[in-house]
Amino acid sequence: MAEEVQTRLLLRLETGVDEAVFLRGLDSRFGPEFNLERRLGHTLILSFAPPLPGSEAEALAARIADLPDVMYAEPPGPRMQPQFVPNDFFYPDQWNLFETYGIDAQNAWDRTRGNSSVVIAQIDTGILDHEDLDNARILPGYDFVSDPAAANDGDGIDPDPTDPGDAVVADECGAGSPADDSSWHGLLVAGVMVATADNTLGVAGVDHRARLLPVRAFGKCGGDFADILTGMSWAAGLPVTGVPDNPNPADVINLSFAGSDPCSPAIQDIIDQIRARGVVLVAAAGNDGMTDMSTVLPANCEGVIAVAATNRVGDRAAYSNHGTRVDISAPGGETGNFGRDAISTTHNDGPVTAGNDIYVSASGTSLAAAQVSAGVALMRALDPDITPDTVASLLINSAQPFPGGSSCTTSLCGAGILDLDAALQLVSQSGSAVADDGGGGGCVLAADRRPDIGLVLLLMAILGIRLVRRSSL
């Protein structure tokens, strides 16, 4: 990028100095032709010609500032651009993007709004078309729900990640299990990450250019963990038997689900293989309000960025799991106050099969993790080669401290609240940044044994989220 030129200096003289005499002598002493452009109180704005590159203008200002008659002299700084503020209908309600205890996305977008070469994969219930999702940014994903009954789409593993719905009747997921409507969980999470911004509709996602890779591993009654591991592996570009290689390997994989079991050696090994390909893994801490994170899978695995949820005033969201294993927090919201304190995102009003596009206010560590994943995508937009370890370090080192008196501390909720603008600033300072291109409530997983992985599959639950419906536009 070419160095910005300067044509002005800010100058203030010491008290008692004859301004006219001083200015007459500047031209002869320093070369450029100076003119008094305007006064700002005691400060003078001087224009000069010819224009100078920024470094030369700084050197000139330093020489003038050394004169005994001068209080200060300096260039006025770089040319500023207006802050990008999306015009999406519900954006004023998206406090998590711009309020004090939000993620400061609004300032971050002046550094980058993303890059189409970056891929965010989400392991979830699949994806639906929605008026606020740009189909050009949705990559061909895959459906890894292997049990046709759970898949609810007539077959098992197939190349169509469309969410057919996961509604269940009473006792369908085990004796005593309740009936439940379709969650459309994948659509909720996708909206947080990549909803189209500045289109007057709905909401704004955190990343405005990255592409989404939908990987379906959850169906009716949750997800089989072998299917989840398969989807994670395929999303990262690892070979999977019987399935074509993924032509669009992910930069970051969002894991907005949680279950109860230690991270076994086999699972940790698969995660290590994924990270060895440069893929960042981000997982929800879970919604059970637990302090011990040692059994919250996959957030308890080494190398996975574990995300807890905060509320609008920077406290721990009451439902959020917490503890020393948490790396960072992000807004997950709470559904009181008529939904005003929750997270606005995309949804569908179909109780069983897909119906109409709507928007809802929701809460959960699923949504907190989604904001971190999209933030990682913005970091990769600035530096495509930034490593998973460096990503985690920069997120932690740039996090906003919890407010005084908060129920969150660094021993409970990680380093602080995601500060996206500060994280991007650290990426830019790292030396390799590139220019911007313009708790429970779901069904448990089925326990089973799969000899290809050689471990007992674990009981897990897709994260429950509390919804407050909003009218479609």
Which band of pLDDT confidence, cut at 50, 70 and 90, is reported for residue 88?
very high
Active site residues: 124, 185, 366
Averaged pLDDT of the chain: 89
pLDDT of residue 104: 96
The band of 2, judged by pLDDT with boundaries at 50, 70 and 90, is: low
Residue 135 DSSP symbol: G
299 closest CA partner among 369, 240, 218, 394: 369
Average pLDDT over residues 36-62: 90
Phi-psi region of 16 (alpha: psi -120 to 50; beta: other; left: phi over 0): left
Cα separation of 374 and 21, whole Å? 58
In DSSP terms, which residues pair with 10 in a beta bridge?
A: 45, 74
Beta bridge partners of 360: 345, 469
- Whether the CB-CB separation of 97 and 105 falls below 8 Å is answered with yes
pLDDT tens for residues 432-465? 555 554 433 222 222 222 222 222 222 223 333 3
At residue 143, the 3 state secondary structure works out as strand
Report the side by side order of strands in the sheet with 460-461.
Answer: 296-297, 258-260, 460-461
Fill in the DSSP letter of residue 430. Answer: T
Q: Answer whether the bond into residue 388 is a cis peptide, omega within 30°.
A: no
Segment 97-119 shows an average pLDDT of 96
Sheet holding 5-13, edge to edge: 33-40, 43-53, 5-13, 70-74
Tokens of 307: 């995300």
Under 8 Å between Cβ of 421 and 399: no
d(CA 90, CA 334): 17
Say what percent of the chain tops pLDDT 90: 78
Sequence-ordered list of residues with C-beta below 8 angstroms from that of 118, at least 6 positions apart, any chain: 207, 209, 210, 211, 251, 252, 377, 380, 381, 384
Compute the distance between CA of residue 86 and CA of residue 84 in angstroms, rounded to an integer: 6
Predicted confidence at residue 81, as pLDDT, reads: 58
Q: What is the pLDDT of residue 79?
A: 65
- C-alpha closest to that of 381 among 420, 333, 433, 417: 433
pLDDT in the model for residue 28: 81
Closest CA to 20 of 31, 34, 30, 6: 34
Identify the three-state secondary structure at position 398. helix
**How many whole angstroms separate alpha carbon 236 and alpha carbon 281?**
10
- The answer to whether 211 touches 116, Cβ cutoff 8 Å, is yes
User: Binning pLDDT at 50, 70 and 90, where does residue 153 land?
Assistant: very high
* pLDDT surpasses 80 at 78: no
pLDDT at 230 over 60: yes
Contact 308, 316 (CB under 8 A): yes
For residues 273 and 271, what is the distance between their CA atoms, to the nearest angstrom? 5
Handedness of CA 242, 248, 252, 257 (dihedral sign): negative
Report the pLDDT averaged over residues 246-258: 97
The answer to which of 180-184, 222-226, 277-281 has the lowest mean pLDDT is: 222-226
Q: How far apart are CA 381 and CA 384, in angstroms?
A: 6
For residues 403-407, give the mean pLDDT. Answer: 94
Residue that the structure tokens 């440069």 belong to: 278
Q: Are 256 and 193 in contact (CB under 8 A)?
A: no
The residues near 214 (Cβ < 8 Å, ≥ 6 apart) are: 121, 122, 124, 126, 127, 138, 139, 141, 161, 186, 190
3-state SS string for 9-59: EEEEECCCCCHHHHHHHHHHHHCCEEEEEEEECCEEEEEEEEEEEHHHHHH
Q: How far apart are CA 426 and CA 398, in angstroms?
A: 7
Q: Which one has a higher pLDDT value, 461 or 289?
A: 289
Tell me what pLDDT residue 436 has: 57
- Give the percent of the chain with pLDDT over 70: 89
